[in-house]
Amino acid sequence: MNLPRLPIGDTIENGVDWIKANLQWLLDLIITVLSYPLDLIIGVLQFPPALVTIAIFTLLAFALRSWQFGVFTLAGMLLIESMELWPAAMSTLGMILTATLIIILLGVPIGILAARSDRVSSIVRPVLDFMQTMPAFVFLIPVVILFSIGVVPGTIATMIFAFAPVVRLTELGIRQVDKETVEAGVAFGGTAGQVLRGIQLPLGLPTIMAGVNQVIMLALSMAVIAGMVNAGGLGREVVAAISRVEVGNGFEAGLAVVVLAIFLDRLTGAIGQPTGKTLWTMLRDQMRTARAQPGNDGAAGTEAAERVAGGPPKRL
């Protein structure tokens, strides 16, 4: 027995055609709104000389994680510059940062609502399942039809593909906060907003940052795939290398992607879970050591003076 064919694909295609025919003004508005932060971030990343940006990234890695990570960042970024892929890498980084910022602005509030309402959670969860299990290349088809090709359509596809983790882990992070702690906050007269800002979000921050970390990783992978729709950056380099069968250029572009991925992964991971080996902690330890040395502390200085004089000073 043959089952009747459900016209799912035809329905989706008709829906996309209807949107393109009747909501073109909205599509143009989305492209215009997204162009501003995208151009701004890419412009800021590409404006200073590469060595200046590399020095900033190195200090950032040193300050937020460790000096070892600072050395890796310096070596990795210099490697990208030496391969003449710096403008493409900054373009990709700009796309990732823009997509991640917008995802956080939209996804964290949805995650908070899902954590507070089981009904919202039951609606959001299957949508997120659908978005996470859909193959990445499928997202490019409606994006190309609705928004054409270029950097902005590539960023939109990246946002859709990487949206789910921040919602899931924001909900999980808030739900995992100890209920007795939340009840204590309410018992002391805290409003729902005060409990959220003062207890739930700070305690759930490591889990939320894990979601942000996953968003960045997914955005980076999709930004490379988005090179197929002329999104620019390292994705275009990879696609060009595939089309011309240039193994060397493809490997160099892939290596630059790996360096960016490790840099973003370790940096965002350090924000959620501090390593204790940052520039600040090293300076603090040095200051404590200096204070503990004889001559820098009052008691230690007095004891040292007594040892030199052969005993405590005699009263006259």
Q: What is the mean pLDDT of residues 218-229?
A: 82
Range of the domain at 238: 15-47+84-273
Compute the Cα dihedral for 113, 114, 115, 119 and give only its sign: positive
Helix residue spans in 148-246 (DSSP H): 151-161, 164-175, 179-187, 192-195, 201-225, 233-244
Query: Looking at the domain assignment, is residue 123 inside a domain?
Result: yes
Query: Looking at the domain assignment, is residue 242 inside a domain?
Result: yes
Q: What is the mean pLDDT of residues 170-185?
A: 86
- Return d(Cα 43, Cα 215) in angstroms, integer: 22
Say which CATH number the domain at 90 has.
1.10.3720.10
Q: How many domains, in total, are found in the chain?
A: 1
Query: Looking at the domain assignment, is residue 237 inside a domain?
Result: yes
Query: Looking at the domain assignment, is residue 111 inside a domain?
Result: yes
Higher pLDDT, 314 or 24: 24
Lowest mean pLDDT among 42-51, 234-243, 291-300: 291-300
Query: Looking at the domain assignment, is residue 7 inside a domain?
Result: no
Cβ pair 107, 166 in contact under 8 A = yes
Tell me which residue has tokens 């990445």.
136
Tokens found for residue 30: 């989305």
Please state the separation of Cα 176 from the chain's center in Å. Answer: 22
* Core vs surface per residue 166-181: b (16+ CB within 10 A) or e: bbbbbbbbbbebeeee
pTM to 2 decimal places? 0.79
Tens digits of residue pLDDT in 252-292: 888 998 898 889 888 887 776 666 666 666 667 777 777 77
Look at residue 313 in the predicted model and tell me its pLDDT. Answer: 45
- Return d(Cα 119, Cα 136) in angstroms, integer: 28
Query: Looking at the domain assignment, is residue 288 inside a domain?
Result: no
Q: What is the dihedral of CA 11, 17, 18, 22, to 10 degrees?
A: 170
Report the mean per-residue pLDDT for the chain: 82
Query: Looking at the domain assignment, is residue 219 inside a domain?
Result: yes
